[in-house]
Amino acid sequence: MPDQLPATPAELTPALLNELLVGALDGGTITTVRASDIGEGTGIFGQIARLELGIEGDAGNAPTSIVAKMACTEPANLEVALMLGLYDREIKMFEHVLDETPITTPVCHAAVQQDDGQFLLLMENMSIGYDVGDQVIGATLPQAEAAIDALAAMHAHWWQRPELDAMDWLPVPNAPQYVAAVPNIYRAGLPVLETEWADRVPPSAIDVARSVDPKFEELLHRTAGGPATLIHGDTRLDNIFFSRTDDALAFIDFQLALRGRAVADIAYLIGTSLPHELGREHWEQLLRRWHEAVSALGVDNYSFDDAVTHYREAAMYYLSGAMSLIGTFDAGNDRGAAMAEAYSTRILNHVVDIDAASVL
């Protein structure tokens, strides 16, 4: 355990990496490290870099290219990340949950966290053999179907399992830190939506956002009503990798994982990552695909009508993600701004397309 972590990936040294990766180096020694940023415009709460490693000695199967993930540096983003415990949560997901979950994720080579919240994850480089989705372009229908099939396996595996209750570090949607933070984030973005985004979304979308405002706390508690399972919590396309050779896919970024309703992952994926027209045309078909998949894997006593209601509630709750990008968080650069606009305009249109306000 190093005494002090560096603040940025560019400051990671061969000495530190040799200490942390000793179990993965097969006797080799890292002599050089070159960091290149791969997170600008994709990550809100973290710095992400690819590390190219120069290794001497008989290194066997030691990786020569890995990914480093560290705390973000933007003050507003960092404050929220620490308040919600995002870094500790992702580390614990790798330590306690993902190995027994039927979903493909990066191999975690090392995980370190300091008392001040700074952290370092060293992970498999998934770009070797996979292509990451592009939030700005949006998902194709086959990509959405593949992601839903993979999520259904994870959801069914953890559905109502008593072990979830013992994971007190894994929040529920209405955990105190969410009740304290998310309504304020929502209300900070709403005036910006009304004054600066009126030319980007239809008036009906702004009307829905306004109608959610006085009921946001009620909505937040409703989304925690169960049935509970493990959910990813951030199923946007930038967090999904698609194999170049077969139908496999992998998920990254478990900072927002929760014990919650599975359909939240589906509403988030469709509502923020499918182009508007595609989501409007296929959302119910895709939700039914998910429902049939979890039912086939043993989930019972959960009707499709309940899934539709919970989907609508989740979509309205995820307007808070749009509000955060509109009014609170630093998107980083031009690509980040394009991601924020795609995410926000899609979910704002989606709540209208699915008549989400009908369940308020």
Superfamily of chain region 9-124? Phosphorylase Kinase; domain 1 (3.30.200.20)
pTM above 0.85, yes or no: yes
Least confident segment among 91-95, 195-199, 329-333: 329-333
pLDDT at position 43 is 59
The CA distance from 288 to 249, in Å, is: 21
pLDDT at position 329 is 61
- Answer yes or no: is pLDDT of 330 > 70: no
- Answer yes or no: is pLDDT of 334 > 80: no
- The percentage of the chain sitting over the pLDDT mark of 90, rounded to a whole number, equals 78
- The percentage of the chain sitting over the pLDDT mark of 70, rounded to a whole number, equals 96
Residues of the chain with CATH 3.30.200.20: 9-124
> CATH says 130-359 is which class?
alpha beta
86, 45 in Cβ contact below 8 A?
A: yes
- Of 64, 52, 49, 178, which Cα lies nearest the Cα of 120? 49
- Answer yes or no: is pLDDT of 150 > 90: yes
Phi, psi of 232 (to 5 degrees): -70, -45
- Answer yes or no: is pLDDT of 333 > 80: no
Mean pLDDT of the chain: 92
Helices (H), the chain: 14-20, 75-83, 86-92, 141-158, 176-196, 203-212, 216-222, 263-273, 276-296, 304-317, 319-327, 334-353
pLDDT at position 332 is 60
β-bridge partners, 120? 70, 112
Helix (H) or strand (E) holding 65: strand 65-71
- Answer yes or no: is pLDDT of 259 > 80: yes
- Answer yes or no: is pLDDT of 331 > 80: no
350, 283 in Cβ contact below 8 A?
A: yes
- Answer yes or no: is pLDDT of 175 > 60: yes
The 10s digit of each residue's pLDDT in 31-90 is: 999 999 886 645 578 899 999 999 998 777 888 999 999 998 888 888 888 888 899 999
pLDDT at position 328 is 65
Q: Is the peptide bond before 75 cis (omega within 30 degrees of 0)?
A: no
pLDDT at position 38 is 83
The 10s digit of each residue's pLDDT in 92-101 is: 999 999 999 9
Averaged pLDDT, 292-309: 97
Q: Rounded to whole angstroms, what are the CA distances from 358 to 77, 301, 353? A: 33, 24, 11
- Answer yes or no: is pLDDT of 299 > 80: yes
**At 236, is the secondary structure helix, strand, or coil?**
coil
Residues of the chain with CATH 3.90.1200: 130-359
pLDDT at position 141 is 97
Least confident segment among 41-45, 100-104, 283-287: 41-45
Q: Rounded to whole angstroms, what are the CA distances from 201 to 3, 33, 64, 128, 282? A: 49, 45, 45, 38, 20
* DSSP 8-state assignment for residue 45: S
